[in-house]
Structure 1
């Protein structure tokens, strides 16, 4: 019986590949999913997210628009709004070192592509500038992951945007809840962890919910 992807290291052995090798392989896994698999995974993800107390009570929620095979959290938006929650998207913060701020999002929000080709709210519009929030003002953040492990460790794209933006959560209370989301095929047995990796409150995939052994 073949081993599941999460039971092995990335090359099928128990050797630890480099973070870059691991990142490339995990991105390949999610891009290999077809549109039907993506839709099913998004539905299953959202059902699990709805069951979480921190999602149910949040009133200011940041999520993201998927790209490159990322699991899609946007089916959660209507449910959040019906519960009175406001939805925000990340925007690259100008004149900062790889940090984000967050802008209120509606279907009519004007969008532009940032320097990475990712769609984000156009903050050149005065109304949308007024709707910006700093990271500490959010209740909950759903962040895309490249990989995760059974201990609740995470791997991002490598730019450090979320780590820099939410570094304050190590010492500041109250803090927003941080939930990483990913396809289950992006799970591995163990991830290399860097000192700057911001810990999460939970990781949710289309098949499971992972809580860190020690809550941040």
Structure 2
């Protein structure tokens, strides 16, 4: 029942997100950047993981440009080649060599010299399909970010997570599983939610 409900929510919210016009996407990204660059967590962080937008997600391009401009070191998630369901984080810069992973998402070409251990990251901007009024996050269903953030959630070690989303991705209540990691903060174009 829970999995079925979660899958229905994924489909509904993804359709809403994909229906946003280019103008709406641009305005949303500008509004999120205006909130993002005011956060102390962002200003105090040096090593920041973020993601490249896909499937109607909030456009992170302007945030990445802002981070580079302010001397922050940016990292992108890469599917772990040997540990199924896990992510690595690679240094990302304007000249990074890129390729598409098995989900069709652009990621840096794996080079162990550019890998940053998760516990050395300061802040991790996370994608999501939906979130609720308690900060619960619903991803695409692979559990990549829940696994990545489990050390932070259970032991307080590793990067502080910060969710990025469109307003239309908020729902009243998400059905949760034991492994779900709630987020302490989420930025949308209209609000900074924190718990």
| Smaller-chain TM-score bracket | over 0.9
Shift of 1:111: 0.3
Candidates 187, 190, 194, aligned match of 1:207: 190
**Residue in 2 that maps onto 1:144:** 127
- Decide which of 40, 63, 84 is 1:97's aligned counterpart: 84
RMSD (CA atoms): 1.3
Check whether the contact 2:122–2:158 (CA below 8 A) recurs between aligned residues.
yes
Q: Secondary structure at the match of 2:89?
A: strand
The alpha-carbon deviation at position 27 of structure 1 amounts to 0.4
Whether the 8 Å contact between 2:152 and 2:160 is mirrored in structure 1 is no
Residue equivalent to 1:154? 137
Structure 1, unpaired ranges of 5+: 1-16
Which of residues 118, 130, 145 in structure 2 aligns to 1:135? 118
1:184 corresponds to: 167
**For residues 137 and 145 of structure 1, what CA distance do their matches in structure 2 show?**
23
Deviations 1:97-125 (A, max 9, x none): 200010111111110111111110011xx
Deviation sequence 1:15-40 (CA, Å, 0-9, x none): xx711101110000000001111011
Residue 74 of structure 2 aligns to a residue in which SS? Answer: strand
Please point out which of 21, 27, 34 is paired with 1:40: 27
Q: Equivalent residues in 2 for 1:102-141 (5 A)?
A: 102-123=89-110, 128-141=111-124
Distance 2:84 2:155 in 1: 20
CA contact (8 A) 2:79 2:101 kept: yes
Distance 1:55 1:160 in 2: 25
Q: Cα offset for 1:76?
A: 1.4
Q: Which structure is larger by alpha-carbon Rg, 1 or 2?
A: 1
Instruction: Work out the CA distance in 1 between the residues paired with 2:105 and 2:69.
Output: 27
Give the CA deviation at 1:189.
1.1
TM-score between both structures, scaled by the size of structure 1: 0.85
Cα distance in structure 2, aligned partners of 1:70 and 1:58: 23
Task: Say how many residue pairs are matched.
Answer: 192
Gaps of 5+ in 2: none
1:49 matched residue in structure 2? 36
1:142 counterpart SS class: strand
